[in-house]
Structure 1
Amino acid sequence: MGVLEDKARARTFYKYLSRVYDTVNPLVWNEEMRDEALDRTGIEQGDRVLDVGCGTGFGTEGLLQHTDDVHGLDQSVHQLEKAWAKFGKTDQVKFYRGDAERLPFADNSFDHYWSSGSIEYWPSPVDAIEEARRVTKPGGTVLIVGPDEPSNSLFHKIADAIMLFYDADEADRMFSEAGFPEREHVVMQANPGSPRAIVTIATVPEE
């Protein structure tokens, strides 16, 4: 388990990262990548969508271009404060402080589930993906964005010591264990040489 796959350490990390997150994030995950991923979800106006690990609201902002029923959840109060300043005061988004592995929602509560830049901090990613399936209606999509595994062996060792990095095979294993028979993986990159993101889009099986 990487250093930041501990919830307390991750909260401390984001206490400081939240100050510069909106400046740093586009170097790895920019609007063009986000919008391309969103186009794969099939989200339509009126759909109820959960944004897990919403952070300062970068993904939330994109979701609001597709539907006006967006709910953001994060474990970091510092990240949520930033997101609230953008969207909460106007009631555009309902925010919750919570854990991806124990979502405070009933079964089949949402039409779609979105999470970008959060899975790398989950101590038990399969448990969290199972939670995504639980709260999303049958036929809905679950889209999760995480850091693609570095190809360089030294970088790979360093990366894994910090947080979760994974490739398409590992994503396939995790989503299969979590009960998703249908899934696809797309690797995206902001610029040549920049860290790659792996986007997994899965469909909740019909009951």
Structure 2
Amino acid sequence: MAYTDAITRRATSIIPATKGPKIERAALAARPNSAPRLIQHKKEALWFYRLISIAYDELLSPPHYTEDMREAALEPVDLHSRHLKVIDVGGGTGFTTLGIVEHVDPENVTILDQSPDQLKKARQKEALKGVTIMEGDAEDLPFPADTFDR
């Protein structure tokens, strides 16, 4: 079975056919092998984020993801209670998590990311003290269903 067929079959098996908008199979297929890609797989991503983490918060993130944008992105999440249990999957250096802990108690927040280097930056942020910061795979979450409210 071709890789793109496997991706499409997996994606369509987890998206209910009777709920939500119809998703075209072509949209679910992986990028063609001929298309250039910076990161081919998770192992390359680890190296990429090891380098990126050096200046991520100071130079790389600010031009395209500002604090105002973060607040706008978090608005639909409805963080209406300090007691909500929230996970930031792919939380990296914790930039978005900083916005989350403005609304939710840090001890109720978890950051999960595959990059130990990005998470090292998150651990250095005073506002994230008390947040659970853990290395893990976004495609294989180590939690039972319904562990988190958001």
Q: Would you say same fold, with TM above 0.5?
A: yes
**Distance in 2 between residues matched to 1:98 and 1:17, nearest whole Å:** 18
**Corresponding residue number in structure 1 for 2:145:** 107
Alignment partner of 2:111 out of 57, 65, 72: 72
**Distance in 1 between residues matched to 2:83 and 2:55, nearest whole Å:** 32
**Distance in 2 between residues matched to 1:60 and 1:102, nearest whole Å:** 20
Q: State the Cα deviation string for residues 81-105 of structure 1 (Å, max 9, x = none).
A: 11011159832x0011100000000
- Conservation of the 8 A alpha-carbon contact between 2:91 and 2:111: yes
1:20 aligns with 2:58: no
Alignment partner of 1:60 out of 97, 111, 131: 97
The percent of aligned pairs where both chains have the same amino acid is 41
Secondary structure of the structure 2 residue equivalent to 1:26 = coil
Change over 3 Å in CA distance of 1:70–1:89 after alignment to 2: closer
**Distance in 2 between residues matched to 1:99 and 1:22, nearest whole Å:** 22
Q: 1:90 is aligned with what amino acid?
A: K
Say which structure, 1 or 2, has more relative contact order (CA 8 Å, 6+ apart): 1
- Conservation of the 8 A alpha-carbon contact between 1:88 and 1:95: no
Q: What is the CA-CA distance between 1:8 and the residue it aligns to?
A: 0.7
**Distance in 2 between residues matched to 1:52 and 1:76, nearest whole Å:** 12
- Conservation of the 8 A alpha-carbon contact between 2:113 and 2:119: yes
More strand by share: 1
TM-score by length of 1: 0.51
Where do 4+ consecutive residues of structure 1 move more than 6 Å? none
Alignment partner of 1:31 out of 55, 59, 67: 67
Q: State the Cα deviation string for residues 20-45 of structure 1 (Å, max 9, x = none).
A: 00021010111111101111111122
Any unmatched runs of 5+ in structure 1? 113-207
Q: 2:54 is aligned with what amino acid?
A: R
Any unmatched runs of 5+ in structure 2? 1-30, 32-36
**Corresponding residue number in structure 2 for 1:11:** 46
**Corresponding residue number in structure 2 for 1:196:** none
